[in-house]
Amino acid sequence: MMPLRQFEGVPAEVIRKAEGKQFPWYHYFNLVHFVNLVFSRVAQSYLGPVLKLVNSSKSLTLDAGRLVHHFHSFPELQLQAQVQPITRSILQIDLSIIPDFRWDEKIHGMAETILTAVEDVDGELILFPDLFILRQQYAEDEHNITLTVPMFEPISPNYYTYTILDCWLHAETRLPTFFKYLILCEKFPPTLLLDLQPLPLFTLHNKEFEYSLTIQTFNKIQTQDLQVLHTTDENVFIGAPTSSGKNICAESALLRLWS
């Protein structure tokens, strides 16, 4: 279906002939880029043979002028992207959205809604969906959005970042982001859980802390972390499954702080 159907005042005959041509929509933009706002023989020579609008030269000029205005008003976006790995499994995409059309309040109103998304190389998985509102007063500005998406092993050759204006036909822009020269971080191997003898609770030498807990000994994770938590001021990150005693580890660190 021809996007010209969405513009008011376009003759049905023009739309019918344009759709009958099977001429790709984006090719029309290659034509109108050569046409100025002063519609004369240039408009006739480019748009006339494509659509064969009418025989009258005067009518052709008027119709071509109206069509060129619609083409310039069609919401086309230019995309640029820079990628940066945060970790080996998280990728940051800095996306620049550059409006490349002439805003007409009668056509676009006060704002346009743009769906921004990132999908995998096969187009089967949406990795990041978001909505972006383009308002009339910022229609000529460049807009920057930061997208955070997961990376999977093995690394895909590329992702696709695309934008879709939800109220327009064929208003989609796709930008491939290639990872051929992307330098990823080294893998972080998990810390091995040592086969240590579980420490008894009285190791902390704090009766109040002992009375507040229902355990008698620390588990293996707590035992391995206790030396760092209770005797140093080092920062510690503990990544462990649910119900593995991480809360007691945090309480042990607070106990040292308050001692």
The answer to whether residues 151 and 91 touch, using CB atoms and an 8 Å cutoff, is: yes
Q: How confident is the model at residue 38 (pLDDT cuts 50, 70, 90)?
A: very low
Helix residue spans in 102-155 (DSSP H): 105-108
**Can you give the pTM of this predicted structure?**
0.64
Greater pLDDT, 101 or 9: 101
Phi, psi of 100 (to 5 degrees): -130, 55
Report the SS3 class of residue 33: coil
pLDDT score of 32: 60
Residue 19: is its pLDDT beyond 80? no
* Segment of 13-22, 49-58, 87-96 carrying the highest mean pLDDT: 87-96
Q: Which residues fall within 8 angstroms of residue 4, CB to CB, at 6 or more apart?
A: 10, 14, 15, 18, 67, 70
pLDDT, one tens digit per residue, over 155-203 is: 899 999 999 998 898 899 999 999 988 888 777 777 888 899 999 988 8
Please state, rounded to an integer, the average pLDDT across all residues of the chain. Answer: 82
Q: Where are the domains of the chain?
A: 3-73, 77-178, 201-258
Q: Which amino acid, residue 134?
A: L
pLDDT, one tens digit per residue, over 43-90 is: 444 455 555 544 444 444 445 667 777 888 889 999 999 999 988 889
The residue count of the chain comes to 259
pLDDT score of 85: 92
CATH class of 77-178: mainly beta
Greater pLDDT, 109 or 3: 109
Residue 35: is its pLDDT beyond 90? no
pLDDT, one tens digit per residue, over 125-156 is: 999 999 999 999 999 999 999 999 999 888 89
pLDDT, one tens digit per residue, over 205-226 is: 888 888 888 888 999 999 999 8
The answer to whether residues 127 and 159 touch, using CB atoms and an 8 Å cutoff, is: yes
